Amino acid sequence: CRKTCDCCERPNAICECTAEFWVGKSYCYCKER
């Protein structure tokens, strides 16, 4: 996952990735700082 939060429109949020990549289901989600 990228460090920049391009998966949401909140400027004060950080982008995180799920740890389900081993089943091919990893996705980005935004988390408040």
How much is the pLDDT for 24? 64
Evaluate if residue 30 carries a pLDDT over 70.
Answer: yes
Question: How many domains does the chain fold into?
Answer: 1
How much is the pLDDT for 31? 75
Neighbours of 13 (CB within 10 A): 15
Distance CA 19, CA 9 (A): 22
> 4 or 27: which carries more pLDDT confidence?
27
How much is the pLDDT for 29? 73
Q: For residue 2, what are the domain limits? A: 1-32
Average pLDDT over residues 5-21: 67
Spatial CA neighbour of 5 closest among 27, 13, 33: 13
Task: Tell me the pLDDT of the chain averaged across its residues.
Answer: 65
Helix, strand, or coil (residue 1): coil
> 15 or 20: which carries more pLDDT confidence?
15
